[in-house]
């Protein structure tokens, strides 16, 4: 889409008289250069931090390229023209052009290296490397200043609108090379972003495309090196604006990930606290209640209450300590294994691992399984329990079947005790439905559909 839009803009520029779209506005030109520099350095800083975290060579190369672009656009030009007073169309044009060509080549190289790792010590050179490069290239061109050709005569800058491809052939070759690097990189990065779901790369691709077509427009009319403002300048700033959007989305993803990590760490801390405190105390209560004399009236109730509390506490610890991205099948297998060991029953688990559920759904389904198993063992005396997870079209189904004593579901209007009410509520919140089929002496089947 970006390519199509830029091609249409470029064709309209070719078809229109150039002088109608051009404006001699040094102040606005300077303002756009300042905006471009700020965006380039901001995104370079984000890429520097990405490299420090991930150690991917692509991030470092992009960081160096953007630092070069940021400094070449405003700082270098200002130093040469305002501080050194050089405005003869030689050094003040060739040095920024050379730096921009190097930056474009680095963008292409970064696209080609992909996610290859890079040495961590490179992060100390994220600023030093581009600054040294600028000094070296500047020193070489300064030494060759007398032999450098005039790229765009400053006193005849308006003549660039009298014909296309105005300017020295080397200037046009540098712009053509930069355009090719940006356009090829945009295609490569587009494929990489589709594979990796990387927000910054997703916006770097159209930004590179716009930057490439900006160089194509500069080929037609090289206003970048004059006080004139033209479509190439607007496209260049539009490319930086797209890059800014990518940088802001990268910040959102980063802080979202930080918040997610903080939540996980807090959950694990709570799980440790529960395990080391509450579970130990409940275990003591269960052991102590089992040692009460047999004629104690409330011995059974106390023991059962301690066992239920232990089961709930263990479920809470497992839920807090688990990862949010665990597959549903893994969660059910783990719950079945723990329950089989605790109640000494035979578990049969048959799950479709392709079924996807979010964190809340996984937790609700796991609690339904635990409640159904506990009821089957304690009240029905079940010795074999089968858990099945299947999918038919867009409908998912979880079935818990036991060989226990069963009960008369319709005798109480299907409502049952608090455990059954809790299971129905959790199923409703999926959103879904829960069905219980049971006959005294023939076991129970609990079916959850969502």
298: Cβ contacts below 8 Å, ≥ 6 apart? none
Percentage of the chain exceeding pLDDT 70: 89
In this prediction, residues 377-381 reach a mean pLDDT of 81
Higher pLDDT among residues 365 and 188, named by residue: 188
Query: What's the DSSP call for residue 390?
Result: E
pLDDT score recorded for residue 129? 94
Question: How do residues 130-169 score in pLDDT, each as one tens digit?
Answer: 999 999 999 999 888 778 888 776 555 555 555 556 678 8
What would the DSSP string read from start to end of 153-166?
Answer: -GGGGGGGGTSSS-
Higher pLDDT among residues 173 and 196, named by residue: 173
If phi > 0 it is left, if psi is from -120 to 50 it is alpha, else beta; for residue 449 that is: beta
pLDDT score recorded for residue 59? 94
> Whole-number mean pLDDT of the chain?
83
Compute the distance between CA of residue 100 and CA of residue 74 in angstroms, rounded to an integer.
12
Instruction: Name the nearest CA neighbour of 49 among 255, 209, 204.
Output: 255
pLDDT score recorded for residue 367? 81
Question: How do residues 350-364 score in pLDDT, each as one tens digit?
Answer: 887 778 787 778 878
Compute the distance between CA of residue 444 and CA of residue 426 in angstroms, rounded to an integer.
19
| Domains assigned to the chain | 2-261 (no CATH), 323-450 (3.30.565.10)
State the pLDDT confidence band at 414, using cuts at 50, 70 and 90.
very low
State the pLDDT confidence band at 347, using cuts at 50, 70 and 90.
confident
State the pLDDT confidence band at 37, using cuts at 50, 70 and 90.
very high
Compute the distance between CA of residue 272 and CA of residue 270 in angstroms, rounded to an integer.
5
Instruction: Name the nearest CA neighbour of 182 among 133, 217, 152.
Output: 217
Higher pLDDT among residues 216 and 406, named by residue: 216
CB atoms within 10 A of CB 82: 10
In this prediction, residues 117-142 reach a mean pLDDT of 92
Question: CA-CA distances (angstroms) from residue 221 to 81, 98, 168?
Answer: 21, 18, 12
Q: Is the per-residue pLDDT at 305 higher than 80?
A: no
CA 50 to chain centre: 12
User: How many residues does the structure list for the chain?
Assistant: 450
Compute the distance between CA of residue 268 and CA of residue 177 in angstroms, rounded to an integer.
54
């Amino acid at each position: 889409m970006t390519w199509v839009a830029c091609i249409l803009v470029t064709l309209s520029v070719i078809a229109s008289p150039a002088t109608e779209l051009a404006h001699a506005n040094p102040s606005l030109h300077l303002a756009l250069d300042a905006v471009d520099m700020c965006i380039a350095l901001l995104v370079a800083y984000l890429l520097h931090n990405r490299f420090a975290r991930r150690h991917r060579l692509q991030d470092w190369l992009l960081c160096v390229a953007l630092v070069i672009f940021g400094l070449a656009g405003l700082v270098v030009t200002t130093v040469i023209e305002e501080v050194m007073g050089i405005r003869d169309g030689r050094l003040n044009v060739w040095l920024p052009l050379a730096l921009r060509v190097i930056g474009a080549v680095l963008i292409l190289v970064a696209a080609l290296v992909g996610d290859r790792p890079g040495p961590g010590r490179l992060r100390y050179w994220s600023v030093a490397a581009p600054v040294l490069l600028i000094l070296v290239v500047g020193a070489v061109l300064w030494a060759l200043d007398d032999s450098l050709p005039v790229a765009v005569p400053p006193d005849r800058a308006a003549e660039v609108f009298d014909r296309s491809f105005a300017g020295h052939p080397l200037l046009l070759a540098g712009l053509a090379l930069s355009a090719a690097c940006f356009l090829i990189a945009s295609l490569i990065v587009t494929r990489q972003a589709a594979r990796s779901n990387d927000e910054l790369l997703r916006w770097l691709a159209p930004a590179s495309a716009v930057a490439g077509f900006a160089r194509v427009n500069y080929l037609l009319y090289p206003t970048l090196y004059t006080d004139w403002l033209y479509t190439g300048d607007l496209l260049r700033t539009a490319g930086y604006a797209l890059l800014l959007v990518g940088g802001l989305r990268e910040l959102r993803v980063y802080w979202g990930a930080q918040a997610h990590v903080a939540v996980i760490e807090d959950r694990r801390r709570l799980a440790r606290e529960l395990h080391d405190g509450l579970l130990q105390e409940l275990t003591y209560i269960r052991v102590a209640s089992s040692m009460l004399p047999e004629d104690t009236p409330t011995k059974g109730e106390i023991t059962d209450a301690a066992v239920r509390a232990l089961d709930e506490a263990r479920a809470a610890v497992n839920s807090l300590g688990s990862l949010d991205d665990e597959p549903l099948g893994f969660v059910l297998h783990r719950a079945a294994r723990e329950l089989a060991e605790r109640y000494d029953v035979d578990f049969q688990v048959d799950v479709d691992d392709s079924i996807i559920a979010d964190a809340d759904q996984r937790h609700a389904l796991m609690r339904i399984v635990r409640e159904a198993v506990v009821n089957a063992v304690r009240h029905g005396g079940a010795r074999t329990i089968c858990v099945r997870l299947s999918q038919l079209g867009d409908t998912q189904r979880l079935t818990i079947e036991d060989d226990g004593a069963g009960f008369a579901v319709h005798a109480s209007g299907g409502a049952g005790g608090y455990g059954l009410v809790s299971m129905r509520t959790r199923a409703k919140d999926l959103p879904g439905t829960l069905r219980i089929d049971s006959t005294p002496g023939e076991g129970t089947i609990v079916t959850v559909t969502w």
